[in-house]
Structure 1
Amino acid sequence: MRASAGIRALTICIMVLALIYFLFPIYWVLISSTKTPGEMVSSSGLWFAVPLDQLGDSIARNYQELLNQTRGYFWQWVGNSVLYSTVAATIGTITSVMAGYATAKFRFRGKGVAIGIVMAALLMPAALMTIPQYAIFQSVGLDNTMASMIIPCCVSPFGFFLGRVYAETSVPTELLEAARIDGASESRIFFTIVLRILAPALVTIFLFMFVATWNNFLLPLMMISSDSLKPITLGLYGMVSLATFNERGVLMMGALFGVIPLILIFVFLQRYWQAGLAAGSVKQ
C-alpha cells in the first residue's frame, strides 16, 4: 500500500522539523564557540561575529583560551572520558549479555527472585546509589582512582533487561540443543554461537552504557578530586564554576569538542545499532 501524497508531504515536514530541532543546538554551539564574551551579546546568535576570512583567528583565540582555562588538562579529560566509557561499556555489555542469556535460557533455583531483584533495581535512581558507593570505595581506599569511575558503571540493570529480551527472542533453543548434542561446551556455545547472534544487541547495549558513563556527572563529582583523573563533564564544570570565568564562547568550544567522540561512535556503529533496536521486536 502506498501512502497518499498528503500523508507523504506531512511526514516529510515532520521529519524536517525534527531534523532542525536536533541539529539546531549543535549549529548554535558551533557558531558560539568562535565568539568572545563581548561578541556573544553584541552579535546575532545565528551567525559568526567576524567575517569568514577572520574566522580562523577567532577559533585559534578561543582554543588557546580553552587550554589556558583548563590548565592544559582539556584533552586529558576527553581521553579520560573515552577510557572510562569504553572500558565500563565493554565490561558491562559482556556481563549484561551473559546474565541475560543465563536467565533466558537456563533453569536454576532462585531464578525468579534474581530477575525480580534486578528489575526492581531499574526503579532506583542512579543518584541514590552514589553516596553508598562513595562510602564503600573510600573504605577500601579506591576513591579518587580510575576504578572508582569504571566499576560502578559496569553494572547496568537496564543492560541486563535488554540482554535477556534479546536472548529470549533471537537465540533459538533448538540451535543450542543441537550444539550440545554435537558435544560443544556451554562456554563454547556462548562465545562462538550466542555472541554472534546477539552482535546487534551487543552494540545497542554498548552504546547505551557508553553514553550513560560519558554523561555521568554526580559519580565523578563524588569520587574524583584529582585534575588528572577528571572526565570532561566534571572538568568543564570546574572551569565554569570559577568566579572569574566569563568566556562562554570557550565553554561552547569545550562542549563541542567534548561531544565529538559521541557523534563519531554513533556514526560508525549506526548500522549495527539500528539492527539491534529491531532485533527483539519479532519473536522467532
Structure 2
Amino acid sequence: MSTAADAVQDDRRDSAPAVDPAAGRSDGPASPGAGAAALRRRGRTILVTGVLVVVALYFLVPVYWIVVAASKTTDDLFGTHGFLFAGNFALFDNIAQVLAHDSGIFLRWLANSVLYAGVGSLIATYLAAAAGYALSTYVFRGRNLIFGLVLGGVLVPGTATALPLFLLFSQLGLVNTYWSVLIPSLVSPFGLFLCRIYADATVDRSLVEAARLDGVGEIRIFHVLGLRLMVPALVTVFLFQLVSIWNNYFLPLVMLTDDQLFPITLGLNTWRSQTDRLPEFYELTTGGVLLSVIPLALAMIVLQRFWRGGLTEGAVK
C-alpha cells in the first residue's frame, strides 16, 4: 500500500510545473492578462519612439538643409534639389568668402554676438539665481507680490518694450552703443521664476540654518551652498537666455545703426537684403547662417552634462 501511494505522489510531483525559487513564478504557460499587458507596453514604446523620431526630424531637417545650402553656389542653390548636394561642393569656398568679405566683418559680428549673449547670459543667470534664492529663503512682507510682478513680466513680449527702451536710452545717450543691447539682456523674468521654484525644491532650510549657526555669512551661504544646489536650474536659465539673446533681432535693429556693433542676426539680414541686386550674397548668407548655428550647438553639447548630474543628485544606489 505504501509503495503504491508513494508512486502516485511521485507521478504528481513529476507532472506539476517547475517553480523557480529565485523568480517566485512557475515555468507554466503565461496568463492571457500578462500577454495583453506586454502588448500594451510594446505599443506605448512604439508610439513614444515614433513621436520622438518626428520631433527629432522637425529640428534636424532645417539644420540639414542649411548644410546642403551652404555647400552650393548661387546657380546650384536654385538649379538643384534643395535637400540634395550638388556636384560642385563649394562649402569651404563659401565659408572662406564669409570670413573674408568686407575685411572680415562677419568675425566682428560674431564677436559682438558672443559679447551680447555670453556676458548678458552670465550676468542674467547670476541675478536670477540671487533673486530666486532670496525670494525662496527669506520671508518678508511683499514677497508674493514681487513674485507675482515677475510672473507678469514673463507675459510681456520683448518687442513691446523695445520702443520705450529706445526712448529711455536716447535720453541717456546710450543708443548705438554696446550698452543699448547688453543692459536689457541682463534681466530674465523667466529665469527668476525658475530659480525661485527650483530653490524651493532643492535648498534645504536646515542646511541654511546650520550654516548660519556656524557663523557663515549670508552671501557666502548663497555662493557656496545655494548656487551649487541650483546648478541644473542655472544651466537651464543660461541656455534659454543665451539662445534668446543670440537670436534677438528686433532690439538691435531698433538700437543700432553702426554695422560694427551689429550682432550676427542683424548682420546676416543686411546681407540677405542685398541678394536682389547681388545674387552672390546668397552664398554669403547661407554660409554665415551655418557658422552662426555652431556656437549654440557647442554650448548645448558642453552644458548638457550638468543636466544629467542634476537629475541624479541626491540619488541612492
Q: Structure 2-normalised TM-score?
A: 0.81
Deviation at 1:66, TM superposition (A): 2.9
Larger-Rg structure:
2
Structure-2 residue corresponding to 1:49: 86
1:265 and 1:181, CA in 2 relative to 1: closer, same or farther beyond 3 A? same
1: CA distance, partners of 2:104 / 2:246: 20
Structure 1 unaligned regions, length at least 5: 280-284
Alignment counterpart, residue 181 of structure 1, candidates 207, 210, 213: 213
Structure-2 residue corresponding to 1:240: 272
Is 1:33 the counterpart of 2:87? The answer is no
8 A contact 1:227–1:235 mirrored in 2 = yes
Q: How does 1:132-211 map to 2 (within 5 A)?
A: 132-211=164-243
Deviation at 1:116, TM superposition (A): 1.9
Is 1:213 the counterpart of 2:250? The answer is no
1:86-140 Cα distance to aligned partner (Å, 9 max, x none)? 1001111111011111111112232222222222111211111111111111211
8 A contact 1:70–1:239 mirrored in 2 = no
Structure-2 residue corresponding to 1:282: none
2: CA distance, partners of 1:114 / 1:231: 33
3-12 or 250-259: bigger deviation: 3-12
Amino acid at match of 2:267: G
DSSP-derived class of the 1:258 partner: helix
Structure-2 residue corresponding to 1:66: 98
8 A contact 2:74–2:283 mirrored in 1 = yes
Is 1:270 the counterpart of 2:308? The answer is no
Amino acid at match of 1:257: L
1:170-196 Cα distance to aligned partner (Å, 9 max, x none)? 101111111111111101111111111
Alignment counterpart, residue 294 of structure 2, candidates 248, 254, 260: 260
Amino acid at match of 1:95: L
1: CA distance, partners of 2:303 / 2:109: 23
Q: Percent identity?
A: 40
Q: How does 1:88-127 map to 2 (within 5 A)?
A: 88-127=120-159
1:112 and 1:18, CA in 2 relative to 1: closer, same or farther beyond 3 A? closer
How many equivalent pairs are there?
275
Amino acid at match of 1:4: R
1: CA distance, partners of 2:110 / 2:212: 46
Amino acid at match of 2:122: T
Structure 2 unaligned regions, length at least 5: 1-36, 313-317
Q: Structure 1-normalised TM-score?
A: 0.89
8 A contact 1:122–1:158 mirrored in 2 = yes
Amino acid at match of 1:46: F
Deviation at 1:64, TM superposition (A): 4.2
Structure-2 residue corresponding to 1:77: 109
Is 1:226 the counterpart of 2:263? The answer is no
8 A contact 1:170–1:197 mirrored in 2 = yes
8 A contact 1:239–1:245 mirrored in 2 = no
8 A contact 2:271–2:284 mirrored in 1 = no
152-161 or 133-142: bigger deviation: 133-142
8 A contact 1:69–1:239 mirrored in 2 = no
Deviation at 1:21, TM superposition (A): 2.2
1: CA distance, partners of 2:100 / 2:229: 49
Amino acid at match of 1:256: L
Amino acid at match of 2:188: S
DSSP-derived class of the 1:4 partner: helix
2: CA distance, partners of 1:274 / 1:237: 37
